[in-house]
C-alpha cells in the first residue's frame, strides 16, 4: 500500500493518534539543503543547479523513498545455476533495486564529469550523488565504482576506448549478455582477499599471460576475492600477482561469445547494513582478463579508481549526516514533550545544533574536496597536491563521525528512531561501512603520514588552504600553530599519533572553510567547540551562548 494512503487512514476507535510527526516526504532534498546549495555554487557547479535539483526532487519523492525501503527489506539472493544446470552466478534483486539503479544512471551519477568535463563537474556529480543517496545508499556502490573506474581504465587507452562509451551511457541495462551488445555497462573491483585487504600486496591470486603478456594483453587469473561487491557488473578491475608483481586486470563478466567468464560466486555476505547491495565471495578458475597498465603497477593503476571511491565514501558519510539531521529537526519540530515542542527545549536545541554543525562541516569540506578533483584534472598542481592529502584526511574523519552522528540523530526521534519504519536503523547500520571499505580508518591515517613524507607539496597545499581561514579566526590560528608543531615533532611516534593528527587536520580544514564560507553562528559554534575545546564528548555540548535557533533553522528541510 502507498505510504501516504496509510498515513491518511482513519484511527481506530480506542484513541486518536496525536503528537506524531508527519513523514518527511515529497520535498526536494537539494533545495531544502541550504548548505549544499551554497556549496555547489561556491565550488563551481552553479551551472548544474537545475540538474542537481532534479535529482533532489526524485530523492525526496515518497515513491522513491519507498523503493529504498523495499530494496533493503528484500535483499538480493544468489542464484548459482540456471534451471537446466548451467552456471549463472548472479545475485537476483528485487525490482526496487533495478528502479533505483535506473534512476541513478539516468541522472548520470556514474558519468557526469567524464561526459561533460568542465569546471565544477565533479562537484555537481558529488552533490547529485549525495542527494540521491538519501533515498537509498546501497545502489551507490556500483554507481560509485563505475564513476571511479574511468581514470584507471584510461591507463590502457584501447580498453578505455572499448568500454568508455558503454560506461558513459545513461541507460541502465541489467541484461546478462556480452558487454558489446549492451546499451550500458557497470564496473566493480576486486582487491580484498582472505589473507589481507588493506595489505593488497599480500594478494595470492595469480595471473598468467596467454600470448606473451604486456599492457593490454590477455591473461588468465586463478585465485579468489573475499569481498567482491556488485558481482552483477559487466566488468571489474581485479588485482593479481603477475611475474612482474601485483598488477591490475580488467575482467569482463561475460566473454565475447556470451559464456560466463571462468569464475564462481561462492556466497553473498550477510551484512550489518548496505543490505540492498550484493557483496560476494568469488573464485577465479582461469578467468579471462586484460592487463591494465604495466605488470607490477597494479596498485598505482587501481589507486586512480580508489581515490574517487574514497571521495564517495566521504560524501556518502556527509549524506548520512544530512539525512539524519533533517529527520531529527523535522521530528523535533512536530513532537511536544513536557508542554513544549521539542525543538524549543533548550537541551534538544543544543543536540540538534551540534549535529547540524557537524553536518555542515562535512558537506562543506567534501564539496570543497570535490572541486580539487576538477581543478586537478584541469592541470592545477596545487589542487592536485591538496587532493592527494585531503582525500585521506576527510575520508578518515567524516566517515569516522558518521556512526556517532547517526546514533544521536536516531535518539532525537526517541523510541520511534529505534524502529525500522523510521528509516533511522537503516541509516545507523549503513554508517560504519564507509569508514571500512576503500581503506579503513587506520589505513587512511597512515596514508596521510605517507603523503606528508613522500609528497611534501601536499601538506603545504593543505596548510595554505587552512591558513586562508586562520587570518580571520584567532582560535583557528592557534589550533593550526599547535598542530603544525606536533606534525613535525617526534617523527619516531608519527605512526602511533596518526589518528590524533589527522583528526586535527580535518578539524582545521573544516574550521577554515566554515570561518570563510559557513553561516556565522555555525562557524562560531565550530570554533568554540571543535577548535577551542569548549565541548564535551557527546553531541549536545556546545556552549550555552550558541545561537541554537539560527543553526537549526538553517538546517531545517522544508517539505
Ligand atoms: C560490505 C563490504 C563490501 C566490500 N566490497 C569490496 C569490493 O567490492 N572489493 C574489494 O576489493 N573489497 C571490498 N571490501 C573489502 C574492504 O575494502 C576491506 O574489508 C577493507 O579494505 C579492510 O580490509 P580487511 O577486511 O582485510 O581488514 P584488514 O586489512 O585485516 O584490517 C583490519 C584492521 O586493521 C587495520 N590495519 C590494517 N593495517 C594496519 C596498519 N598497518 N596499522 C594499523 N592498523 C592497520 C585496519 O584499519 C582495520 O581496522 C568490502 C568490505 C565490506 C565490508
Q: pLDDT by residue (tens digit) across 265-306?
A: 999 999 999 999 999 999 999 999 999 999 999 999 999 999
- Rounded mean pLDDT, 73-89: 96
In the predicted structure, residue 504 carries a pLDDT above the cut 50:
yes
- Reported as a single tens digit per residue, the pLDDT across 384-425 is 999 999 999 999 999 999 999 999 999 999 999 999 999 999
Whole-number Å distance, alpha carbon 198 to ligand 1 midpoint, is 5
Whole-number Å distance, alpha carbon 297 to ligand 1 midpoint, is 21
- Reported as a single tens digit per residue, the pLDDT across 150-182 is 999 999 999 999 999 999 999 999 999 999 999
In the predicted structure, residue 341 carries a pLDDT above the cut 80:
yes
Decide: helix, strand or coil at residue 128: helix
CB of 271 closer than 6 A to ligand 1? yes
Percent with pLDDT over 70 in the chain: 98
Give Dmax (Cα) for the chain: 79
Query: How many Cα atoms are found within 13 Å in the side-chain-facing hemisphere of 64?
Result: 26
Residue 197: per-residue pLDDT: 93
Nearest to 61 by CA among 139, 4, 118, 21: 4
| Residue 16 grid cell | 486518536
Q: Element (H or E) spanning 279, and its range?
A: strand 279-292
- Reported as a single tens digit per residue, the pLDDT across 511-549 is 999 999 999 999 999 999 999 999 999 999 999 999 999
In the predicted structure, residue 496 carries a pLDDT above the cut 60:
yes
CB of 228 closer than 6 A to ligand 1? yes
- Using pLDDT thresholds of 50, 70 and 90, give the confidence band for residue 559: low
In the predicted structure, residue 125 carries a pLDDT above the cut 70:
yes
| Residue 309 grid cell | 571511491
Residue 1: per-residue pLDDT: 39
Which atom belonging to ligand 1 lies closest to the Cα atom of 239? 11
Residue nearest to atom 27 of ligand 1 (CA): 197
CB of 198 closer than 6 A to ligand 1? yes
CB of 363 closer than 6 A to ligand 1? no
Residue 2: per-residue pLDDT: 46
Residue 558: per-residue pLDDT: 81
- Rounded mean pLDDT, 345-351: 98
Residue 289: per-residue pLDDT: 98
Decide: helix, strand or coil at residue 133: helix
Which atom belonging to ligand 1 lies closest to the Cα atom of 190? 11
Residue 13: per-residue pLDDT: 82
The distance of Cα 118 from the centroid of its chain, to the nearest Å, equals 22
Whole-number Å distance, alpha carbon 441 to ligand 1 midpoint, is 9
| Angle between helix 456-470 and 498-517 (nearest 10) | 40
Give the phi and the psi of residue 79 in degrees, each rounded to 5. -115, 115
Question: For 15-24, which contacts have Cβ atoms below 8 Å and span 24 or more sequence positions?
Answer: 19/335, 19/336, 20/334, 20/335, 20/416, 21/330, 21/331, 21/333, 21/334, 21/335, 22/334, 23/62, 24/326, 24/327, 24/330, 24/557, 24/559
Whole-number Å distance, alpha carbon 310 to ligand 1 midpoint, is 13
Decide: helix, strand or coil at residue 205: coil
Whole-number Å distance, alpha carbon 268 to ligand 1 midpoint, is 17
Q: Cα separation of 402 and 394, whole Å?
A: 12
CB of 197 closer than 6 A to ligand 1? yes
Whole-number Å distance, alpha carbon 439 to ligand 1 midpoint, is 6
Name the residue with higher pLDDT: 559 or 514. 514
CB of 441 closer than 6 A to ligand 1? yes
Whole-number Å distance, alpha carbon 352 to ligand 1 midpoint, is 33
In the predicted structure, residue 213 carries a pLDDT above the cut 50:
yes
Q: Cα separation of 343 and 327, whole Å?
A: 12
Q: What pTM was estimated for this model as a whole?
A: 0.97
Which atom belonging to ligand 1 lies closest to the Cα atom of 188? 8
Whole-number Å distance, alpha carbon 470 to ligand 1 midpoint, is 36
Which atom belonging to ligand 1 lies closest to the Cα atom of 192? 11
CB of 191 closer than 6 A to ligand 1? yes
- Rounded mean pLDDT, 77-82: 96
- Reported as a single tens digit per residue, the pLDDT across 251-265 is 999 999 999 999 999
In the predicted structure, residue 16 carries a pLDDT above the cut 80:
yes
CB of 437 closer than 6 A to ligand 1? yes
| Residue 227 grid cell | 569481498
Whole-number Å distance, alpha carbon 197 to ligand 1 midpoint, is 5
Residue 3: per-residue pLDDT: 46
Mean pLDDT (the chain) is: 96
Whether 36 and 30 have beta carbons less than 8 Å apart is answered as yes
Q: Which residues of 291-324 are buried (b: 16+ CB within 10 A; e: fewer)?
A: bbbbbebbbebbebbbbbbbbbbbbbbbbbbbbb
CB of 540 closer than 6 A to ligand 1? no
Probe ligand 1: pick from 440, 446, 497, 502, max atoms within 8 Å of CB? 440
Residue nearest to atom 7 of ligand 1 (CA): 228
Whole-number Å distance, alpha carbon 534 to ligand 1 midpoint, is 35
- Reported as a single tens digit per residue, the pLDDT across 105-115 is 999 999 999 99
Residue 8: per-residue pLDDT: 56
Q: Element (H or E) spanning 267, and its range?
A: strand 263-268
Give the phi and the psi of residue 219 in degrees, each rounded to 5. -135, 155
In the predicted structure, residue 69 carries a pLDDT above the cut 60:
yes
Probe ligand 1: pick from 436, 438, 498, max atoms within 8 Å of CB? 436
β 218-229/279-292 pair status: antiparallel
Residue nearest to atom 23 of ligand 1 (CA): 197
Q: Cα separation of 440 and 448, whole Å?
A: 13
Whole-number Å distance, alpha carbon 366 to ligand 1 midpoint, is 22
Positive or negative: CA dihedral 194, 200, 203, 209 = positive
CB of 436 closer than 6 A to ligand 1? yes
Whether 327 and 291 have beta carbons less than 8 Å apart is answered as no
Percent with pLDDT over 90 in the chain: 97
Whole-number Å distance, alpha carbon 209 to ligand 1 midpoint, is 29
Question: What is the secondary structure of 232-244 as a DSSP string?
Answer: TSSEEEEEEEETT
CB of 196 closer than 6 A to ligand 1? yes
| Angle between helix 298-334 and 548-555 (nearest 10) | 110
Between CA 374 and CA 371, with CA 127 as vertex, the angle to 5 degrees is 20
Amino acid at each position: 500500500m502507498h505510504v501516504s494512503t496509510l498515513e491518511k487512514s482513519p484511527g481506530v476507535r480506542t484513541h486518536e493518534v496525536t503528537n506524531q510527526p508527519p513523514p518527511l516526504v515529497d520535498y526536494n532534498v537539494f533545495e531544502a539543503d541550504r548548505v549544499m546549495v551554497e556549496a555547489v555554487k561556491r565550488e563551481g557547479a552553479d551551472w548544474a543547479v537545475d540538474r542537481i535539483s532534479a535529482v533532489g526532487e526524485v530523492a525526496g519523492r515518497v515513491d522513491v523513498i519507498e523503493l529504498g525501503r523495499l530494496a533493503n527489506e528484500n535483499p538480493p539472493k544468489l542464484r548459482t545455476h540456471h534451471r537446466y544446470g548451467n552456471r549463472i552466478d548472479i545475485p537476483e534483486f528485487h525490482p526496487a533495486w533495478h528502479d533505483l539503479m535506473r534512476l541513478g544512471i539516468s541522472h548520470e551519477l556514474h558519468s557526469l564529469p567524464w561526459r561533460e568535463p568542465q569546471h565544477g563537474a565533479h562537484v555537481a556529480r558529488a552533490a547529485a550523488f549525495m542527494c540521491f543517496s538519501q533515498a537509498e545508499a546501497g545502489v551507490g556502490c556500483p554507481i560509485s565504482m563505475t564513476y571511479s573506474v574511468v581514470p584507471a581504465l584510461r591507463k590502457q587507452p584501447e580498453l578505455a576506448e572499448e568500454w568508455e562509451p558503454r560506461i558513459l551511457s545513461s541507460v541502465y541495462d541489467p541484461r546478462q549478455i556480452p558487454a558489446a551488445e549492451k546499451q550500458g555497462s557497470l564496473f566493480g573491483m576486486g582487491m580484498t582477499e582472505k589473507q589481507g585487504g588493506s595489505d593488497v600486496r599480500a594478494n595470492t591470486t595469480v595471473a598468467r599471460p596467454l600470448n606473451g603478456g604486456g599492457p593490454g594483453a590477455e591473461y588468465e587469473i586463478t585465485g579468489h576475492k573475499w569481498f567482491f561487491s556488485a558481482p552483477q557488473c559487466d566488468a571489474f578491475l581485479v588485482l593479481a600477482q603477475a611475474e612482474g608483481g601485483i598488477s591490475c586486470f580488467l575482467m569482463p563478466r561475460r566473454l565475447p561469445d556470451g559464456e560466463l567468464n571462468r569464475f564462481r560466486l561462492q556466497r553473498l555476505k550477510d551484512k550489518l547494513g548496505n543490505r540492498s547491495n550484493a557483496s560476494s565471495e568469488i573464485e577465479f578458475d582461469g578467468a579471462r582478463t586484460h592487463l591494465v597498465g604495466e605488470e607490477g603497477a597494479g596498485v598505482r593503476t587501481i589507486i586512480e579508481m580508489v581515490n574517487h571511491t574514497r571521495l564517495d565514501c566521504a560524501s556518502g558519510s556527509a549524506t548520512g549526516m544530512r539525512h539524519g539531521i533533517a529527520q531529527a529537526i523535522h521530528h523535533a519540530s512536530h513532537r511536544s514533550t513536557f508542554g513544549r515542542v521539542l525543538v524549543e527545549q533548550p537541551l534538544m536545541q543544543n543536540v540538534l545544533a551540534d549535529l547540524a554543525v557537524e553536518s555542515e562541516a562535512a558537506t562543506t569540506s567534501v564539496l570543497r574536496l570535490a572541486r580539487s578533483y576538477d581543478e586537478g584534472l584541469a592541470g592545477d598542481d596545487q589542487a592536485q597536491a591538496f587532493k592527494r592529502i585531503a582525500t585521506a584526511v576527510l575520508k578518515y574523519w567524516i566517515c569516522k563521525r558518521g556512526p556517532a552522528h547517526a546514533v544521536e540523530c536516531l535518539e532525537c526521534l526517541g523510541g520511534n528512531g529505534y524502529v525500522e519504519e523510521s528509516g533511522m536503523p537503516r541509516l545507523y547500520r549503513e554508517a560504519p561501512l564507509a569508514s571500512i571499505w576503500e581503506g579503513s580508518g587506520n589505513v587512511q591515517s597512515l596514508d596521510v603520514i605517507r603523503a606528508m613524507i613522500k609528497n611534501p607539496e601536499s601538506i603545504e597545499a593543505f596548510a595554505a588552504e587552512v591558513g586562508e581561514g586562520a587570518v580571520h579566526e584567532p582560535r583557528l590560528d592557534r589550533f593550526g600553530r599547535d598542530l603544525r608543531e606536533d606534525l613535525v615533532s617526534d617523527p619516531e611516534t608519527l605512526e602511533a599519533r596518526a589518528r590524533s593528527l589527522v583528526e586535527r587536520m580535518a578539524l582545521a580544514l573544516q574550521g577554515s572553510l566554515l570561518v570563510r564560507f559557513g553561516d556565522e553562528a555555525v562557524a562560531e559554534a565550530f570554533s568554540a567547540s571543535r577548535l577551542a575545546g569548549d565541548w564535551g564528548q557527546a553531541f549536545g555540548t556546545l556552549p550555552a551562548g550558541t545561537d541554537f535557533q539560527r543553526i537549526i533553522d538553517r538546517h531545517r528541510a522544508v517539505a
